[in-house]
Amino acid sequence: MTAFAHKISARDGAARLGQLTTAHGVIDTPTFMPVGTVGTVKAMTPDAVRGTGAQMILGNTYHLMLRPGAERVDRLGGLHKFMDWPGPILTDSGGFQVMSLAKLRKMTEQGVEFQSHLDGSSHMLTPERSVEIQRLLDATVTMAFDECTPFPATEIEAAASMRLSMRWAQRCRDSFVARPGYGLFGIQQGSVYPDLRAESAAALAAIGFDGYAVGGLAVGEGQETMFGVLDHAVPLLPEDRPRYLMGVGRPLDIVGAVQRGIDMFDCVIPTRSGRTGQGFTRRGTVNIRNARHLDDPRPLDEACACPACAKFSRAYLHHLFRAEEILGAMLLTWHNLHYYQDLMRGIRSAISERRLAQFASEAAALEAQGDIDPV
């Protein structure tokens, strides 16, 4: 039987190169998980997602409990079979969506009662129900149910929110059904307050989890503040477990977070940007809708081997978006996800060769230079 374990093979400063072994395969870390919120990575087939090099994806408890329903997914063989993704899947607990999407929500010690944003139907999501839904989905990694502390928040507000999440974390641990190769992650909270981050980390370590996430960031605080929180918060987490920064982010955010000891990332930015005409390149972002690309025969990124760059020009991508053709969103999403996996491969190589600081400096310099090549 496969044990859930994270093995570190190399370090460069606080950055860690490793492998996470799970019931559904081995993941190279640091890793980026494409977001497949409702059982699909938008505008991509599972084969295409695999082709980018992605090893693990993310699904969401809130959305899948509402449609098609966790019990239905379970009857149909679980999320891996349902969406043709045999590899590892991490499921977000639904806490963020309950706070950001649900209507007429009422939060108590027991959990959150809310109305669906889809049809107004009433639901109750508790720590126990969140963990149960994730088990029915057959999530490789289950996330503890927490309250997403708003930003900004006073220290008193952040403390109350964090302590509620820690009580819920214990209930998640108590209700989690342990299986070989499956993991439960706790989520550190505490907003921007060092003492609260320390209290949260200590509470989670005392409960005991298979991995630890840093929550409550990428909510509008800015990169400098986020890095400052990570400088303090990450070393508080157990050294021998994977560390996951939720909802981050942009390429330079990821590089900087890896330098501070983070192993796992997810974000909707590459897929959402792909659907709206923004492509990520080694020289920053490109708005393919801009008229400057009308006659441009170059690929979006000369160093990229994805189908969008290997077979098509900027002019063609520009045409697809101006003509509102679905293929444009598909190709640009494909490129963005490929770019993010190239980024993670580059990061892992840099850690193994102990040159991550140089890698980060070069990436920042290229982005600052911008996409200025003449057409």
DSSP 118: T
User: In what helix (H) or strand (E) does residue 7 lie, and over which residues does it extend?
Assistant: strand 5-12
Q: Which two tokens stand for residue 305?
A: 């081997």
What interhelical angle do 223-233 and 194-207 show, nearest 10?
A: 50
Q: Which two tokens stand for residue 236?
A: 């508080």
Helices (H) and strands (E) in the chain, counts: 15, 16
Q: DSSP characters for 350-364?
A: HHHTT-HHHHHHHHH
Distance CA 123, CA 203 (A): 29
Active-site residue flag, 266 = yes
Contact 79, 71 (CB under 8 A): no
Identity of the residue numbered 33: M
- Catalytically annotated residue among 92, 138, 301, 371: 92
Distance CA 321, CA 80 (A): 32
Distance CA 290, CA 324 (A): 14
Distance CA 121, CA 134 (A): 21
Q: Which two tokens stand for residue 181?
A: 């190769």
Identity of the residue numbered 80: H
- Catalytically annotated residue among 138, 263, 266, 342: 266
List all residues 6 or more positions away from 209 whose beta carbon is below 8 Å from its beta carbon: 144, 169, 173, 183, 184, 185, 186, 241
Give CA torsion, residues 315, 310, 32, 4, to 10 deg: 150
Distance CA 261, CA 280 (A): 24
**Which residues are catalytic, by number?**
92, 266
